Structure 1
Amino acid sequence: MSLRHIACSLLLSSLALPLLAAECPALLQGELPKLRSKGASFDLCQFAGKPLVVVNTASFCGFTPQFKGLEALYQRYQDQGLEVLGVPSDDFRQESDDSAETATVCYVNYGVTFTMTEPQPVSGDDAIALFKGLAEQSRQPRWNFFKYVVDRQGKVVASFSSLTKPDDPELIAAVEKAIASQP
């Protein structure tokens, strides 16, 4: 391989990087620590171009059994590209201080297979960037298990209160609308 060929390849590679970054909507730019991963984090851009349900969770809330319905929703639509992101939070004082206990509730008690983060602030001035962006497009969560449905372009198509169960027809319709959206 000639020096000219290598230089040309490097130039093309460097030009492609900004294009890839531009494909990730502002809402999804950033990293979050993955639950039960010993310091490992994941890039939210992994959800770019995919329909997404984002929900703030808590292990000791009356709505915690919704994990079962969220998992069923994920299993039902996963083959169509749906992702679910659970973000535990103690903003409403119903999450454990011990992330191992949070992981047990999610993974063992409810069999969650979708992505979960370490506990994060989700409301008010201390909210993480993802939840600030969600609130700008919709509204801030007022309690645990508030749900946002995000389309393939990173736009909130609907949000639902804690009272809305994951199998609610309106939430299902919003998920199907997000799945049908074009990347």
Structure 2
Amino acid sequence: MRKLLALTCAAVLTGFAAIAAPNVTFKSIDGGVLEMSDWAGQPVLVVNTASQCAFTRQYADLQSLYDTYRAQGLVVLAVPSDDFRQELDSAAEVKEFCEMTFGLDMPMADITSVTGQNAHPFYGWVKAQTGFVPRWNFNKVLIGADGSVIETWGSRTSPLARPVTDAVETALAGS
């Protein structure tokens, strides 16, 4: 029975892992849907964010990274989450805070769960691919132009840190 269960779980994970990240959608903070398939062929840096976190200042660096590389094709997607109890109460408050405080104009998802049983399918896919699960806010996942996970970084890694910008530049060169 355990062997059958293990094989079934492996088959489910294999089937789920076969779903390329570009097929994933997020609810947009502006209403509607953000479809990663719209960014097929482009690298996408997905970052779980929060407005009331010690790392919230990274929004400025995310915008700077986006400004630096967007013309070359980089997409930076902010995914606000209250999983660590540090997000504002509504998407409208998050949007206003980010625009007023940091001048953000990058794509932003609505408030989204990134951990546990209610984690967004993107984060389930990343976990199945790499074992990576956000342990706090401002974890970064770089998706390549082919839809695969290139690299992941934790909260302490600045969006402008050399490992991130090197990986972004390499991904852009290959897209």
What's the TM-score once normalised by structure 2's chain length? 0.85
Residue 151 (1) aligns with residue 144 (2): yes
Show the counterpart of 1:103. Answer: 95
Task: Tell me the alpha carbon deviations over residues 59-94 of structure 1, each in whole angstroms, 9 at most, x when there is no partner.
Answer: 100000100000000010111100001100001110
CA-atom RMSD, angstroms? Answer: 1.2
Distance 2:61 2:153 in 1: 14
Give the conservation status (yes or no) of the 8 Å contact 1:51–1:151. Answer: yes
CA contact (8 A) 1:52 1:151 kept: yes
What is the aligned length? 156
Deviation of residue 28 (structure 1)? 2.3
1:169 and 2:162 aligned: yes
Identity %: 37
With the length of structure 1 as denominator, give the TM-score of the two structures: 0.81
Distance 2:21 2:116 in 1: 17
Partner in structure 2 of residue 21 of structure 1: none
Partner of residue 13, structure 2: none
> How far apart are 1:134 and its partner, in Å?
1.7
Where do 1:1-183 residues align within 5 Å?
26-37=20-31, 40-138=32-130, 139-182=132-175
Segment drifting more, 27-36 vs 51-60: 27-36
**Tell me, which stretches of 5 or more residues in structure 1 are unaligned?**
1-24
What is the SS of the residue equivalent to 1:108? helix
Distance in 1 separating the partners of 2:161 and 2:34: 30
Secondary structure of 2:127 counterpart: helix
| Structure 1 residue runs of 4 or more that deviate by more than 4 Å after TM superposition | none
RCO higher in structure (CA 8 A, sep ≥6) = 2
d(CA) in 2 for partners of 1:80, 1:140: 28
Q: State whether residues 26 and 109 of structure 2, in contact with CA within 8 Å, keep that contact through their aligned partners in structure 1.
A: yes
Unaligned runs of 5+ in 2: 1-18
Question: Alignment partner of 1:175: what SS?
Answer: helix
SS at match of 2:84: coil
Amino acid at match of 2:113: P
Q: Check whether the contact 1:55–1:86 (CA below 8 A) recurs between aligned residues.
A: yes
Q: Which has the larger radius of gyration?
A: 1
